[in-house]
């Protein structure tokens, strides 16, 4: 029998514009020296919207404005985004600027003000250069081609080295449903919703409450399971827009294909999350930690994220050093109680610890494996049947260089 995951197909070179009914644009407004810095996603018609935001107590002005838009019906038609300036910790002026940014975008695109969401990323504590924002918004000419998708994905970047996009499809209720995504994030990444922005589009027909239910669930297994440096930003958000153009029966948890939709959202989110982790500031390797045999799902996730977030583990992976002692050290301080005599650890298929005791292994083979661009650390416990995965990257000299001079 075909599994839920097997019902989903990846769209080659997919993006937010692989989904019918959406357009995008990205331009250079002068917030950055030469690169694009203002972008927009727009739906041909108002779309059901779900969103998750940073848990940082300091929340940037754009988040407050976006929450205001969502409070007026949970329907969004456009998302206006800028890079270079986070508009965070900017007080009353910052709030006024974020509202003005929403108003400018609505007027330029011919939309209702509360149908526009606002997102910003960049340096904290600097005021928005509103003359340049205004110039950039007036230059936006959304289209539905590949170049426009790439322009938007470029406009939202900060220290990222690559753009991040994807798309997947599945048959739901007898209709082909497409879902695409774009994201940015490289440093200050440790979500519980980091400077991380994620935007997902779909033509599925679904009400906003059900969409929020799906996003909140999926976020805990994807975006919230990545870490680059342990810092959660002031501006993080992930938004999903569903315009209903696929023509499927309205989705809800009671729908026979609900699990297919949730898996579709999970695959898009996981794809974007892994690309963020892989592109961590200065990173040379993607690290995936798989924990199995835990008592509870949250236990497995917590252990996995603690391991992948350990600076000692990250440094060892950069140096291709099979130092499993750093892994057990991270496990032991994760806050999860477990029997240390019932733990196995492997780098790929190279076992280094069995039942809490060291195993003889080839250092040469381990070195060769740890020099790969993608490394998987397997942690097998014998406490229960739950599992969890987390993603991160190695810690390099370049991470310090980038963040030592971020504002300059």
The predicted pLDDT at position 240 comes to: 98
Average pLDDT over residues 105-133: 96
The predicted pLDDT at position 186 comes to: 59
Could you state, in order of their start, the residue ranges of all structural domains in the chain? 8-275, 286-404
pLDDT at 188 over 60: no
Residue (of 210, 285, 270, 203) closest to 238 by Cα position: 270
pLDDT at 165 over 90: yes
Residue (of 142, 159, 195) closest to 407 by Cα position: 159
Give the separation between CA 138 and CA 36, rounded to whole angstroms.
Answer: 14
The predicted pLDDT at position 190 comes to: 47
Q: Check if the beta carbon of residue 338 is closer than 8 Å to that of residue 345.
A: no
Give the fold, CATH level 3, of 8-275.
3.60.70
Q: Output the pTM of the full model.
A: 0.87
Give the separation between CA 216 and CA 238, rounded to whole angstroms.
Answer: 10
Give the separation between CA 272 and CA 182, rounded to whole angstroms.
Answer: 7
CA distances from 228 to 49, 64, 185, 272 (A): 28, 26, 9, 14
CA distances from 83 to 122, 129, 160, 165 (A): 5, 12, 11, 17
Q: pLDDT tens, 37-88?
A: 999 999 999 999 999 998 788 889 999 999 999 999 999 999 999 999 999 9
Q: How much is the mean pLDDT over the chain?
A: 92
195 is an active site residue: yes
The predicted pLDDT at position 280 comes to: 67
The confidence band for 159, taking pLDDT boundaries of 50, 70 and 90, is confident
The predicted pLDDT at position 225 comes to: 84
The confidence band for 398, taking pLDDT boundaries of 50, 70 and 90, is confident
32 token code pair: 């950055």
Q: pLDDT tens, 190-245?
A: 444 345 899 999 999 999 999 999 999 999 888 888 775 555 667 889 999 999 99
Q: Check if the beta carbon of residue 246 is closer than 8 Å to that of residue 206.
A: no
The confidence band for 189, taking pLDDT boundaries of 50, 70 and 90, is very low
Give the fold, CATH level 3, of 286-404.
Ubiquitin-like (UB roll) (3.10.20)
Catalytic site residue from 54, 75, 158, 195: 195
Q: Provide the CB-side half-sphere exposure for 219 (13 A, CA).
A: 26
Enumerate the H helices of 279-396 as residue ranges. Answer: 297-309, 311-318, 325-332, 363-370
User: Three-class SS of residue 94?
Assistant: helix
More reliable by pLDDT, 392 or 233 = 392
More reliable by pLDDT, 89 or 55 = 89
DSSP string, 177-193: EEEEEEEE-SSS-----
């Amino acid at each position: 029998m075909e599994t839920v995951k097997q019902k989903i197909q990846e769209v080659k070179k997919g993006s937010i514009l692989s989904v019918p009914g959406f357009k995008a644009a990205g331009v250079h407004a002068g917030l950055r020296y030469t690169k694009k810095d203002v972008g927009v996603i727009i739906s041909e018609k108002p779309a059901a919207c779900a969103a998750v935001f940073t848990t940082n107590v300091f929340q940037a002005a754009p988040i407050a404005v976006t929450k205001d838009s969502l409070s007026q019906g949970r329907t969004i038609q456009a998302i206006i985004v800028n890079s270079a300036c986070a508009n965070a910790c900017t007080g009353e002026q910052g709030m006024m600027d974020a509202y003005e940014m929403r108003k400018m975008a609505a007027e330029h695109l011919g939309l209702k003000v509360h149908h526009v969401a606002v997102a910003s990323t960049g340096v904290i504590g600097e005021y928005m250069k509103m003359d340049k924002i205004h110039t950039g918004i007036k230059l936006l000419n959304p289209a539905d081609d590949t170049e426009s998708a790439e322009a938007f994905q470029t406009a939202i970047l900060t220290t990222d080295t690559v753009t991040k996009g994807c798309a997947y499809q599945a048959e739901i209720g007898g209709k082909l449903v497409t879902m695409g995504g774009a994201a940015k994030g490289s440093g200050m990444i440790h979500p519980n919703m980091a400077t991380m922005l994620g935007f997902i589009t779909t033509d599925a027909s679904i009400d906003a409450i059900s969409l929020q239910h799906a996003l909140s669930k999926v976020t805990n297994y994807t975006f919230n399971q990545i870490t680059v440096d342990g810092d959660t930003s002031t501006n993080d958000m992930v938004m999903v827009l569903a315009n209903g153009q696929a023509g499927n029966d309205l989705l809800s948890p009671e729908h026979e294909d609900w699990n297919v939709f949730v898996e579709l959202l999970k695959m898009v989110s996981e794809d974007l999350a892994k690309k963020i982790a892989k592109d961590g500031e200065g990173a040379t390797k993607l690290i995936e930690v798989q924990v199995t045999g835990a008592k509870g799902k949250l236990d497995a996730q917590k252990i996995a994220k603690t391991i992948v977030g350990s600076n000692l583990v990250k440094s060892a992976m950069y140096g291709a050093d099979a130092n499993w002692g750093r892994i057990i050290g991270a496990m032991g301080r994760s806050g999860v109680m477990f029997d240390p005599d019932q733990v196995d650890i492997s780098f790929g298929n190279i076992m280094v610890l069995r039942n809490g005791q060291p195993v003889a292994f080839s250092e040469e083979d381990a070195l060769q494996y740890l020099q790969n661009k993608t490394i998987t650390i397997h942690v097998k416990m014998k406490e229960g049947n739950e599992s969890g995965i987390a993603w991160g990257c190695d810690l390099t000299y370049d991470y310090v260089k980038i963040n030592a001079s971020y504002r300059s």
